[in-house]
């Protein structure tokens, strides 16, 4: 929620209360109020309310920071289907996955992808220009193949040996274990 409608609502509420108090003062014929023309006061307050409504409607809204899309697949089939987002950042939690056979998880986004994984038997393929891999994972760069950099867990000499492969198509990739 932005602050503009709240402030505008308060101001309009105050104007309506003042207008109602003015109407009560006119109805009870309070002498100080009879000096002013009631019709003019009514028109001025209605115009002020209308002007405030227009200003509030046209006031630029503050940009809301989008939360990253959270992805934690519930099955290996869901993980194999992967996740795609056009613009949003993605946080993919794959730490629970301990596949019995080779599993590839595709992650595609126009934003930043953060992948949470266990470092055992892991391979990551990405063409991302900005890659930040946690030092605690022990992943090493293996080679570049088809425009993608390939990172593997310690002890692996070929990405085909990995039980879990993450194919990350993103501009920026962060890989962490927690």
Based on the structure, what is the number of domains in the chain? 2
Residue 70 domain flag = no
Work out the angle between the directed axes of helices 38-58 and 3-27 (0-180°, nearest 10).
170
Q: What is the mean pLDDT of the chain?
A: 81
- Within this chain, do residues 40 and 85 fall inside the same structural domain, yes or no? no
Answer whether residue 67 shows pLDDT above 80. no
Residue 50 domain flag = yes
pTM of the entire predicted model: 0.59
Return the closest-CA partner of residue 59 out of 105, 8, 123: 8
Q: Are 64 and 1 in contact (CB under 8 A)?
A: no
- Within this chain, do residues 92 and 157 fall inside the same structural domain, yes or no? yes
- Within this chain, do residues 49 and 94 fall inside the same structural domain, yes or no? no
Answer whether residue 70 shows pLDDT above 70. yes
- What pLDDT is stored for residue 25 in this prediction? 81
Residue 94 domain flag = yes
Rounded Cα gap, residues 38 and 92, in angstroms: 65
- Within this chain, do residues 41 and 111 fall inside the same structural domain, yes or no? no
Categorize the per-residue pLDDT at 4 as very low, low, confident or very high, splitting at 50, 70 and 90: low
- Within this chain, do residues 17 and 50 fall inside the same structural domain, yes or no? yes
In terms of Cβ atoms closer than 10 Å to its own Cβ (0-12, 13-18, 19+), residue 19 is middle
- Within this chain, do residues 86 and 171 fall inside the same structural domain, yes or no? yes
- Within this chain, do residues 137 and 94 fall inside the same structural domain, yes or no? yes
State which residues form the domain around 125: 76-177
Residue 66 domain flag = no
- Within this chain, do residues 88 and 162 fall inside the same structural domain, yes or no? yes
- Within this chain, do residues 52 and 80 fall inside the same structural domain, yes or no? no
Could you read off the pLDDT of 35-48 as tens digits, one per residue?
777 777 778 877 88
- Within this chain, do residues 98 and 150 fall inside the same structural domain, yes or no? yes
Could you read off the pLDDT of 78-105 as tens digits, one per residue?
888 888 888 788 888 888 887 778 888 8
């Amino acid at each position: 929620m932005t602050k503009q409608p709240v402030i505008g609502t308060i101001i309009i509420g105050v104007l309506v209360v003042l207008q109602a108090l003015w109407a009560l003062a006119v109805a009870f014929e309070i002498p100080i109020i009879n000096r002013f023309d009631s019709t003019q006061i009514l028109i001025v307050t209605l115009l002020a309310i209308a002007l405030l409504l227009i200003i509030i409607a046209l006031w630029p809204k503050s940009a809301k920071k989008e939360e990253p899309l959270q992805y934690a697949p519930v099955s290996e089939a869901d993980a194999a289907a992967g996740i795609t987002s056009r613009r949003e950042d993605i946080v993919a939690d794959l730490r629970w996955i301990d596949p019995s056979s080779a599993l590839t998880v595709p992650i595609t986004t126009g934003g930043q992808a953060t992948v949470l994984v266990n470092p055992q038997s892991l391979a990551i393929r990405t063409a991302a220009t900005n890659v930040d891999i946690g030092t605690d994972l022990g992943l090493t760069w293996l080679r570049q193949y088809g425009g993608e950099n390939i990172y593997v867990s310690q002890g692996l000499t070929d990405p085909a040996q990995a039980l879990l492969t993450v194919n990350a198509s993103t501009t920026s990739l962060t890989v962490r274990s927690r």
